[in-house]
Amino acid sequence: MAVTKIENARYIVTMDAQRRIIRDGALLIEGDRIARVGKTEALAGAPADRVINASGKVVTPGLVNGHIHLSYAHAMRGLFPEDTPPEVYFPSVFKIQAAMTEEEEYLTSLLAMTELVKSGTTTILDPGSTKFMEAGLAACGEAGCRLITGIHVTDRENPSRIPAYDAREAARIATDAIDRHHGAHGGRVHVWAMPFSDDWASDELLVALKRAVDERNSRMTYHHINASVSIERTLREYGKRPTLHLEDIGLLGPNVLLAHVIDLDEAEIDAMARTGTAAVVCPAASLKLAQGTIHQSKLPELLAKGVPVSVGTDSANNGNLLETQHAMRVTSLVYKDARGDTSLLPASQTLEMGTIMGARALGMDAEVGSLESGKKADLVLYDTERAEWSALVNPVTALVYNADGRSVDTVMVDGVTLVENGKPNFVDERALTAKLEAVSEGLLARTSFAPRIPWPID
Ligand SMILES: [Zn+2]
């Protein structure tokens, strides 16, 4: 078994149970797992096949991104102006996706993974918005990241015009994907059930999928924005708010991850807490889409009740920048100002959301999210000998408030190096972006969409 030693790290931010930060740290990797973490001095006698000198580097667990649509958005990033109304925007997005070929989806997925991995994200959850699932899996094979995916399904006509099947067929499509692909790429791929949203799925479909994941020891995620239109609907139909109706039909639980959760009331938060339900928030996308994060989001209350919450970026046309660290930073910033309380969402808490708590929200904290003996060797080395890192007196605030993906030097998943000297080694990034330009041009020509740029271009 190949043994790698990382030594002389300026700090190792372990995110273990004690949240130890080790100055002059070292880490021993045997095969795909971490064998030891400690001081460089303490590991001096440990032999290794390969030694990485991490002098001037901060080492962290690989970041966890709990909500990012990988497969289509890069071809239309920036195409639709910010003020495009949702009833135009979302159907247009899915119309473009419907026109994509399998090769195009492979390229957009690989580009998304490249952007994420090179900025330090190693575990990626795509909420199933894939047209050719095999294309995304092939891209994951290349990129070497950890991927949670599935096929999003609906059985209700919906404004985004995502194809609606009858409930049985939709459940079959989603569970077939789990049965066929869960555990692919040496276990790096997890497949979950992913109904698009509880607004666009019947109770029959939701219940069938929950039963299917319970039987398979799998998990599920769905969009649960809890916008006013959804709240009005369930109040009208069931006399209660959406999250409480979900609890009634058995759709909450420790294997359920609710995405966005913008407008929750106290009873809904209590329902999530008592059922062990997890959440993921995508602050940059929510802010850009004016979904009410500042005015309505109850993230501080969710966290106070012990609900595990992950951060996500959402897609390259919603959140645009696919840096999990950016999502951590925005999350730490907005609640302080919105509530006039600087004690909310400290950097230590959003760093947890991007690592160990995010892993817990995805049910993966036994394997990833912290640097400790027995865990998968998924980690990031940041180069701190850069202007934005200096002076480094507090690695926790530096990671959230002043560092970003530009300083990522090395990324490993399963002990395999994917990024070295800031460059992904699994792809020719320039060649890939050149292909994406052609993909985008072709798609726009085929679908007759054109960007609306505010100023004349000569
Ligand atoms: Zn989404």
Cα-Cα-Cα-Cα dihedral sign, residues 20, 23, 29, 35 = negative
Average pLDDT value over all residues in the chain: 96
Q: How confident is the model at residue 159 (pLDDT cuts 50, 70, 90)?
A: confident
Q: What percent of the chain has pLDDT over 70?
A: 100
CATH entry, 3-61+374-424, from 3.40.50.300, 2.30.40.10, 3.90.1170.50, 3.40.50.2020: 2.30.40.10
The string of pLDDT tens digits covering residues 289-341 is 888 888 889 999 999 999 999 999 998 888 889 999 999 999 999 999 999 99
Report the separation in Å between the CA atom of 226 and the middle of ligand 1, taken as the mean of its atom positions: 13
Output the CA 28–ligand 1 centroid distance in Å.
37
Measure 384 CA to ligand 1 centroid, in angstroms. Answer: 33
Cβ-count burial 104-123 (b if 16+ within 10 Å, e if not): bbbbbbbbbbbbbbbbbbbb
pLDDT at 89: 87
Distance (Å) from CA 199 to ligand 1 centroid: 13
How far is ligand 1, taken at its centre, from the CA of residue 456, in Å?
33
* Residue 93 banded pLDDT, cuts 50, 70, 90: confident
Distance from chain centroid for Cα 311: 6
Q: What is the mean pLDDT of residues 148-176?
A: 94
Q: What does the alpha-carbon distance between residue 238 and residue 245 come to, in Å, rounded to a whole number?
A: 7
Q: Classify burial at 441, counting beta carbons within 10 Å of its beta carbon; exposed 0-12, middle 13-18, buried 19 or more.
A: exposed
- Please identify, in words, the CATH class of the domain defined by 63-361: alpha beta
Residue 21 has pLDDT above 90, yes or no: yes
Band of pLDDT at residue 73, cut at 50, 70 and 90: confident
How far is Cα 322 from Cα 367, in angstroms, rounded to an integer? 23
- Taking the centre of ligand 1 as the mean of its atom positions, its distance from the CA of residue 175, in whole angstroms, is 20
176 in Cβ contact with 182 (< 8 Å)? no
Q: How far is the CA of 133 from the centre of ligand 1 (A)?
A: 16
- Taking the centre of ligand 1 as the mean of its atom positions, its distance from the CA of residue 261, in whole angstroms, is 11
State in Å: Cα 127 to ligand 1 middle. 6
Question: In this predicted model, which residue has the larger pLDDT, 71 or 224?
Answer: 224
Distance 126 CA to ligand 1 centre (A): 8
User: Distance, CA 171 to ligand 1 centroid (Å)?
Assistant: 20
pLDDT at 304: 98
Whether the pTM exceeds 0.95: the reply is yes
CA of 313 from ligand 1 middle (Å) equals 9
Across residues 63-88, what is the average pLDDT? 90
Residue-level pLDDT at 78:
86
Asked if the peptide bond before residue 434 counts as cis, ω within 30 degrees of 0, the response is no
pLDDT digits (tens, 9 = 90+) for 403-422: 999 999 999 999 999 999 99
Ligand 1 mean position, distance from CA 368 (Å): 23
Question: Has residue 224 got a pLDDT over 90?
Answer: yes
Section 22-29 average pLDDT: 98
pLDDT > 90? residue 17: yes
pLDDT confidence of residue 171: 97
What are the extents of the domains in the chain?
A: 3-61+374-424, 63-361
